[in-house]
């Protein structure tokens, strides 16, 4: 491979430094702006190339040593080799760049909101099983190959201790025929979940006893197979809410940062002056419940396609004594078909793919005065915001939230206001009582 030397002037959202070589953009992972680097080209595309850093000739003042034991092979901590302050700046720039590419170059993006803890924040770890090596691990980037596990700095040390304990007794694990392992922490302790190809009662009981004997903080060890499903409830306290989830339910992995995100949503809802609100993609109900608690005179409707999550949401509403919200199971894009309600405020928190085309049509037909959009993908957020702006909305606020420190991922909270609403619809009320 031929070697090149160049100065790097920028960095993309994936943590790759950017330079130009003979007019072509070159991305080199792990390189910071301001660094001079010797590198080689590993991949050439039509409009860009990808390189590998061979040596640092001039280092950035923001470079630090990564604490990830498998930094290069895993790729999860894509930004772990820079100072936290620089990471947060880069994530805000990633949101700005996504908006600019969608034609929204004039939109102001605030600085990134973040929690103090950069490592050990994840309340969930999911690993895959390599039956040949008899061990669990993350998959290598863009591959199904399992990387041998030596620890994970993003998770509590106790998670890594559990995995390494299992690796010390490969026969104990292989008897289960596992496919994956999940470890989740909550206020009531740690839950370990094995997903297996087939049910083996004796092997399940053996591994259950071994883990509980070794780790006093483990409260549940669940073993599930296609013909045998085990579950339990996890208890958590989030923003003053007593929340309980089924063990397999989606839950934000960084509770302190999520509470900061909820505070942003509350702030924006306070500016909305609403009487009726719809929480679409409501999941287990945290966003809707938080707003319903803070605005007891308003009526709230939550809709979610996952029936287990809806049941969790209903139980959580009753557990917290919140009576001004109702949860329903169904496609969020069918809201108008289900309810004779014209919400003044709509909150959406879609998956990475963003709002579906049918959901975007539904949202425009609902025409709420205010939309609060929570996104885990700046690219699909920018696409959806552009369409909403083309149909009578303006962006009031965009704030990145670093829910996933040291990784390339960033959450964003945005509020949009409808400019051409004829009158506040909330004054009409609802034909349905809560």
Catalytic residues: 376
Which two structure tokens, joined as six digits, stand for 400? 């990145």
Q: How far apart are CA 262 and CA 349, in angstroms?
A: 12
Which two structure tokens, joined as six digits, stand for 422? 């004829």
* Orientation of helix 84-101 relative to helix 378-389, angle to 10°: 40
Q: 204: helix, coil or strand?
A: helix
Q: How far apart are CA 375 and CA 69, in angstroms?
A: 30
273 φ/ψ sector (left φ>0, alpha ψ -120 to 50, else beta): left
Are 260 and 401 within 8 A, CB to CB? yes
> Integer distance in angstroms from the first to the last C-alpha of the chain?
68
Which two structure tokens, joined as six digits, stand for 298? 């308003």
What count of other Cβ atoms lies within 10 Å of the Cβ of residue 168? 8
Residues 6+ apart with CB under 8 A from 22: none
Q: How far apart are CA 380 and CA 376, in angstroms?
A: 9
Q: How far apart are CA 206 and CA 166, in angstroms?
A: 12
Cα Rg, the chain, nearest whole Å: 24
Dihedral, CA of residue 132, residue 137, residue 143 and residue 145, to nearest 10: -10
In order, the DSSP letters of 282-339 are -TTSHHHHHHHHH-TTSEEEEEES-HHHHHHHHHHHHHTT--SEEEEES-GGGHHHH-
Q: How far apart are CA 168 and CA 211, in angstroms?
A: 12
The alpha carbon dihedral of 190, 253, 357, 368 has a sign of positive
Per-residue b or e along 318-356, where b marks 16 or more CB atoms closer than 10 Å to that residue's CB: eebebebbbbbbebbbebeeebebbbbbbbbbbeeebbe
Q: How far apart are CA 410 and CA 407, in angstroms?
A: 8
């Amino acid at each position: 491979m031929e070697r090149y030397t160049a100065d790097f002037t920028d960095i993309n959202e994936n943590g790759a430094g950017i330079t130009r070589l003979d007019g072509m953009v070159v991305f080199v992972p792990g390189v910071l702006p301001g660094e001079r680097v010797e590198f080689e080209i590993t991949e050439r595309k039509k409009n860009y190339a990808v390189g590998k850093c061979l040596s640092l000739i001039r280092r950035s003042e923001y470079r630090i040593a990564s604490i990830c034991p498998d930094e290069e092979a895993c790729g999860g901590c894509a930004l772990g080799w820079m100072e936290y302050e620089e990471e947060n700046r880069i994530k805000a720039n990633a949101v700005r760049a996504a908006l600019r590419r969608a034609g929204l170059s004039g939109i102001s993006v605030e600085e990134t909101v973040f929690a103090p803890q950069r490592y050990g924040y994840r309340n969930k770890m999911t690993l895959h099983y390599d039956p040949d090596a008899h061990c669990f691990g993350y998959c290598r980037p863009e591959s199904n190959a399992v990387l041998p596990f030596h620890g994970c700095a993003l998770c509590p040390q106790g998670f890594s201790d559990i995995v390494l304990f299992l690796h010390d007794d490969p026969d104990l694990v292989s008897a289960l025929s596992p496919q994956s392992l999940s470890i989740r922490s909550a206020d009531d302790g740690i839950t370990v979940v094995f997903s297996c190809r087939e049910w083996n009662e004796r092997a399940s009981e053996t591994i259950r006893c071994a883990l509980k004997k070794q780790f006093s903080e483990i409260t549940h060890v669940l073993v599930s197979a296609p013909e045998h499903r085990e579950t339990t409830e996890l208890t958590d306290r989030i923003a003053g809410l007593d929340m309980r989830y089924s063990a397999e339910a989606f839950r934000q992995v960084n509770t302190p940062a999520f509470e900061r995100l909820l505070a942003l949503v509350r702030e924006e809802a306070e500016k909305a002056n609403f009487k009726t609100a719809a929480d679409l993609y409501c999941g287990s109900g945290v966003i809707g419940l938080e707003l319903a608690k803070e605005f007891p005179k308003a009526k709230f409707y939550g809709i979610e396609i996952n029936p287990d999550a809806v049941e969790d949401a209903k139980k959580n509403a009753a557990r917290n004594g919140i009576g001004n919200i109702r949860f329903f199971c169904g496609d969020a894009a069918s809201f108008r078909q289900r309810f004779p309600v014209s919400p003044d405020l709509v909150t959406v928190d879609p998956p990475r793919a963003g709002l579906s085309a049918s959901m975007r049509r539904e949202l425009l037909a609902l025409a709420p005065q205010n939309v609060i959009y929570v996104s885990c993908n700046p690219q699909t957020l920018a696409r959806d915001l552009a369409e909403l702006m083309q149909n009578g909305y303006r962006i009031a606020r965009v704030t990145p939230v670093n829910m996933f420190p040291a990784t390339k991922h960033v959450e964003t909270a945005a509020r949009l206001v409808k400019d051409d609403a004829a009158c506040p619809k909330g004054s009409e009320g609802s034909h349905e009582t809560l």
